[in-house]
Structure formats: structure tokens, C-alpha cells
Structure 1
């Protein structure tokens, strides 16, 4: 049985002798050949070469062709800010600040000739020919709620309270785009369509059922009718939404380190949905040693009582600078679990003590808004929580202070531990947790700030 067959059996809910493995190497793929994120996401040849290097080094069961949630948004008029070591982020939302959701772009559906789509489709076809017999290929599309947020900005969160019917109609439009993108990618040879919608972690299960259940159910049914498999990919603390996500009938769900994998698997098993995850992106993959990565994989597999319906993967898009030896160590732990367990039986990870000084919250001159993120440049949920904080800063000006702490920096990992930050993203005001994995509405955040003003 080759690696592709291993993954397909897992997604068809069959027993396997070994767990399937998917390295979500987006811009990290470029780092393997010295290409930065702007190159690997815009140049067909550099993207193809980088993906082939991932395939050679990391021996995947499944592999994404591109990990960029801004492809569709760019086609629809969103301005992007590009970075050397991360996917682009949306800098301008065409529908932000408008009175309603009526707009000329409302009827626009990207075509195979729009934006970077032709380049992506070419790489998909080339990858299918080169490795499609041994590796399942993933086409990643932007989920309807995250796409709606790219277009509308943080206003979408208030819309869900103020104009429910308009939101339902708007999400139907965004879902039509997702369905069309799935068609393009399946036609280009993709075995699995991953609907990546990180902002699902930022809403309640009630709002999910009200606004998201119908479009996602329709989308996964459409993918199934087209003969492909599906994954519902969500980042952040989506714990409260795992069950309602399962009810939309994806073939699999992918989660990150914010979610308790073992608790989530009990839910997904109830619905016979496969689950993928969740090697920590920063503390283990980026900042850990090769032994740390090997040990994490072995320990996870040892704790997992039932490995049916399980796919091992990083929690989300791998950071650009993950050391290649760390991922190779994870691969070795999958293929040689018993030998690696023996090698590491006496290994204890070094506890790097980094001293951080917290503000004197009891004696602040003005309110302090602290946003703890994975990285607002790469994590969509973090982007929009940080966007809410920036909007508050514009409203209050010098009357408040605001700072972001990115978890990709070692000192900020230590700060999170000292503060007891439960999940990312989270927002604190004067040292107190106010918004946890939930993008605040403008009025709610402003009220929370005014409550602590002297």
C-alpha cells in the first residue's frame, strides 16, 4: 500500500496499519529551495519545484498544492499586503463600511482565468502527473465565512446581529464561489478539497447553525457529487463548533493545537468523520528540536487509543522557517515508531527559561489592550481580532495603548505561559482576559475599554 492509498483508506473510514501523514507546507515549501513567500505563491515553476521538494523530503500521504486563503479575495478586488515569510494578508475590504451588502462585485464569480487561478491550475495538473499516483493532492479553497470577512471586514460580525437575512444571502454568494473553485480544482486532478475557514473558530455554535450549516452542507455535498473527498479545515479554538461542523458531513476535519485532539476525536468518531492534526506549529515545529518533534509524534500516537479515522498533520500552515530536520524527524517517528520510542526513552526536552516582565496592570496610566496571536500576518482569525483592536485604537487614539504579541517569537511564548493565555487569538484589557477565540464586535470592545477608563 502506498502513501496515497493509506490516506484514501483513512478518509473512507477503513482500518490502516499506519497513520496517514499530511505536511501542510505552504510557503514553507519555498524555503526548502531558498524561495520566499512572494516567489513561491506567484511563480509557477518555483511553486512546482518547491512542492516536488516537499514530496521528496517529507514523504507525504497527502499534500496541498497551495496554502493561500487570499486567492479568491484577490480576484474579487481585495488589496493584499505581501510578505517574504508568510502568505499575503487582506489590507482592503471592498465592502467594509458600506451601509449594506449590495455591491457590483456581488455577482462576480472568479473564472479559470482570474488572478492567480491559471497558475495554480497548471501546477495542480503538473503535480497530478508527477506524483498523483503515490500522493493524494489537496486543493485548498477559502471557506465562505472567511471569504465573507475578507470582503466585508470586521463589519460581518455586527451584520450577524443587525441584518441576518442579508448575511444569509451574502454567505450563499460566497459559498457559490467556493463551489466553483472546488469544481476547478477537482477538474485539475485534486483528490481532496480542503475548505479552509479559520474564522469558524470565532463564532458561537448558535451562529454556526443559523448561518453556516446550510452553506457548508451544500458545499460538502457538491464536492462529494463531483467525486472528490473533503476536509473542513479550521484554525483556533473551534472546540464549541466541532459537533456542528461534523453535522455538515465533511469526510474529515482538520484542527490545530488550540483544540484537545482526543476530546474532539470522540465527537468526530460519533459521526464517522476522520480528524487530522495537530502538531504545534511554533513551540514544537518552529522552535523545538528534531527530538522534540519525534517525541511529540510518538507520544501522540501512544496516547491515541483508536487510530482509525486519524491523520497526523501540523495544526495548520507550517511556518516558513521550520527547520527541515524537524519535519524529517516527525516523518521518521511515523515510519519507525518503535525504534524512535526506544531512542528517545530517556529524552527530556530542555526547558528554556526566558524571563519576561509583565506590565504593572494595577497602575497603568491608560487602558492597555494586549492581543495575543499566532501571528496576525498568517492567521486569519488573528488578523481580524487584531483588526478589531486597531479599529479601537483609531477610535480612542492616544487615550489607550495597544500591542500585539506574536506566538512565533520565543519571548512571547514565555509571556503567554506567564499570563496563562488559554487560546490564540485572545485579547486582554488591563491584564484581564476579555475576548477568547472570539472576534469582538466594535461596540462590545469599545464598551470593555470604556469600562476601565479612569
Structure 2
């Protein structure tokens, strides 16, 4: 059975002898052929060359063509900050300064000629012709809530309380953008439309049901009617929202390492939804060894009593600098499971002890806000939690201290362990966890800071 058939059978809820493997090698694809992140996200020929190298080295059952949640935002007027080792981040929010939430005219929906969309569609068609028979291709679109946040900024979290009716209309607009992007990508030959909405992990299940159930249910029904499969891709600790996500009827859900996959699978199995994930991006893929990656995959598969409705994948977009041999180790564990199990049965990961010194929280001269992120430059949920912290810093100025600890750095991994940080992103004030995988509204964060001033 060719790899694509394994994935298609999995998405059809059929049993397979082998697990489907989907490497989310977005900007990392450029590293394989010597291009930086900006080059592969802006140049179609370089992107195609990089994707073909991913296909050759990593033998995927499915692979994304581009992993960039800012494509739609860029088309709609957001300025981007570009990086060599990660996707761009949104630097401006066109609707941020409006006192009341404005719903854009429906004629502002991106067309096939907007921004980088022509380049992306061309690469999709080239990939379909080159590997479409052996590999299922993923078209990744920005989910409606994350797109709404790109356009509105952190004010979106206050809109949930202050202007519910306008927010519902605004999200309907963002969902119309998502549907149109899905249409473009399906026409270009994409087998799976992944609706990537990392900020869903930053809202409550009540807010999800109030604002997001209808848009997502309509979006997944639309994708199904167009003849493609769907994936609901969320980052961060989405544990509280797994069940309400399932109720929108996607074909699959993708989660990262913040979520207990085995516990989540019990929920998704109840709704007959495929679940994908969740090889840790930094501790295993980026900073681990090849044996660490093999061991993680074998252990995960062995813990899973029912492998039906499961896709093995990284927790999110792979970091640019992931060593190639680490992903090759995952490939070996997928396709040579029995021999790799024997190979790593006595393997114990090396404990690399890094000493970190925590602040003396009991004797701080002024309040200290600490934001623990995967990386605010590349993780949307982290971007907006960090944005909330930066806004608070502007308000309080020198009366508070504020720092970000990025989980991509080994020292900060050790710091997270010593602090007992449960999930990313999280925000601490004076050493106490205040906001766990939940972006605070402006007034809420300011009140928490004033309480310790």
C-alpha cells in the first residue's frame, strides 16, 4: 500500500497495518536545500524544490504545501515581520484602533490574484503533478478566530464581552475568507484542508460554543461538500476544547504536545474523529537525538491500544533547525517499527542538567511579569499572550519588569521544568501562575498587576 492510501484510509476511519505519517515541515523544508524561511515562503521555485526534498527524505503519507498562517492577513492589510528561521509574524492589525469592531465589506475577501496566493496555487499544482499519486497534499488555511485576531489584535478578547453581536458578524466574515481559501486550494488539487487556528486554545469552551461552533461546523461541511477532507489544527493546551471541536464535525483534529494525546483520543474516538500529533517540537525534534525521536514514536505507538483514527505528526510546524537525522529517525520508526523497537528497547535519554537560578520572588523590588512561550515570533498563541504583556508594560512602564522565556532555548526548557510550567504559553506574576494557555483581556491583566503593586 502506498503511503497516501494509508492516510486516506485513516481519514475514512478504516483500519491500516501501518500508521499514517505527516511531517509538518513548513519553513524547515528550506533548511534541507539551503534556503531560509523567507525565501521558501516568497519564492515558488525555491518552495517547490524544498517540498520535493521533504517528500524524498521523509517519505510522508501526507505533507503541507505551505505552513504560513499570515497569508490571508497579509492580503487583508496586515504588515508582516519576516525572519530567516521561522514564518513571519503579524506586525500590525488594521482594525486594532477602531473603538467599535468593524465588519469589513465582503468584497475585501482575497482573490486568486491577491498577495502570495498565485505563487502558492502554482506550487500546489506542481506538487500535485509531481507527487500527488503517492502523497496526500495538505492546504493550510488560517482559521477564522486567528484571522480575526490578526485583524483586530488583542482587542478581540474584549469584544467577546463588549460587542457580542458585532463579533459574531466579524467571525462570519473571517469564515467566508476561510471558505474561499479552501475553494482555491481544493481547485488546485489539495486532498486535505487543514484549518489552522492556534488561538482556539486561548478561549474557553463556553466562548467556543457561543462564537465558534457555527463558523467551524459550516466550514467543515463546506470542505466536505467540495470533496476534500478536513483537519482542525490547534496549538497550545486545547484540552478543554477537544470535545467542542469534535462537535463541529471535522474529519480530523491535530494537537501539539500541550495536550495528552491518549486522553484526547478517547474523546475523538467517541465522535469518530481522527486525531493527529504530537511529537514534541523542541525537547525531542529540535534538541533531542535521533534515538530520542525513535524512542518517542515507539513509546507512543506502544501505549496506544487502538491505532485506528490516528495520524503521527509533529505537534505543529517543525522548527527550522530540526536536525535532518532526527526526522529520519521518526521515518524509520514508522516504516520499520519492529526493528526500531528492538534497537531502542534499552535506550535511556541522556539527562542534560542545566542549572538555572530563579528570581527571589519574595523580595522583588517591583512586580515581575514572566511570559513562558514556545516562541512569540513563530507561535500565534504566544504572539498574542506576549502582546498582552507588552501592552501592560506600556501602561505600567518602569513600575514593573517583564521578560519572555522562549522554550526553543535549552536554558529556558530547564527553567520551565524548575518552575513547573504546565503549558505554553503561560504568564506568571511574581512567580505565581496567573494565565495558563489563556490570553488575558487588557483589563484582566492590568487588574492582576495592580493587585501586587
> Is the partner of 1:174 in helix, strand or coil?
helix
Give the whole-Å Cα distance in 2 for the aligned partners of 1:250 and 1:128. 23
Q: Give matches, 1:50-449, under 5 Å.
A: 50-102=50-102, 107-449=107-449
TM-score normalised over the length of structure 2:
0.99
Alpha-carbon shift at residue 346 of structure 1 (Å): 1.4
Q: Residues 312-360 of structure 1, C-alpha deviation per residue, up to 9 Å, x if partnerless?
A: 0000000000000000000001111111111112111000000000000
Q: C-alpha distance in 1, partners of 2:119/2:338?
A: 42
Deviation at 1:103, TM superposition (A): 5.9
Give, in angstroms, the shift of residue 104 of structure 1.
5.4
- The alignment's C-alpha RMSD in Å is 0.7
Q: Taking structure 1 as reference, are residues 332 and 107 closer, same or farther at Cα in structure 2, changes over 3 Å only?
A: same
Taking the aligned partners of 1:62 and 1:101, their CA distance within structure 2 comes to 39
The separation in 1 between residues aligned to 2:103 and 2:124, in whole angstroms, is 32
Shift of 1:102: 2.2
For the Cα contact (< 8 Å) 1:367–1:399, is it kept in 2? yes
CA distance in 2, matches of 1:104, 1:298: 49
- In 2, the alpha carbon distance for the partners of 1:106 and 1:153 equals 20
The alpha-carbon deviation at position 413 of structure 1 amounts to 0.1
Give the secondary-structure state (helix, strand or coil) at the position aligned to 2:265.
helix
3-state SS of paired residue (1:41): helix
Q: CA deviation at 1:91?
A: 0.5
2:376–2:382 Cα contact (<8 Å) kept: yes
Q: Deviations over 1:340-381 (max 9, x none)?
A: 111112111000000000000001010000000000011000
Q: Is the 8 A contact 2:191 2:229 kept in 1?
A: yes
The count of aligned residue pairs is 453
> Is the alpha carbon distance of 1:94 and 1:58 closer, same or farther for their aligned partners in structure 2, counting shifts above 3 Å?
same
2: CA distance between counterparts of 1:84 and 1:352? Answer: 28
CA contact (8 A) 2:101 2:159 kept: no
The DSSP-based 3-state class of the residue aligned with 1:154 is helix
Q: How far did 1:180 drift? A: 0.1
Rounded Cα–Cα distance in structure 2 between residues aligned with 1:239 and 1:370: 23
Is residue 209–residue 244 contact of structure 1 (8 Å, CA) maintained in 2?
A: yes
Alignment partners' CA distance in 1, 2:166 and 2:232 = 24
In structure 2, stretches of 5+ residues that fail to align are none
Distance in 2 between residues matched to 1:43 and 1:97, nearest whole Å? 33
Report the secondary structure of 1:153's partner residue: helix
Q: Distance in 1 between matches of 2:206 and 2:345?
A: 46
Give the Cα–Cα distance (whole angstroms) in 2 for the partners of residues 365 and 106 of structure 1.
Answer: 52
Unaligned runs of 5+ in 1: none
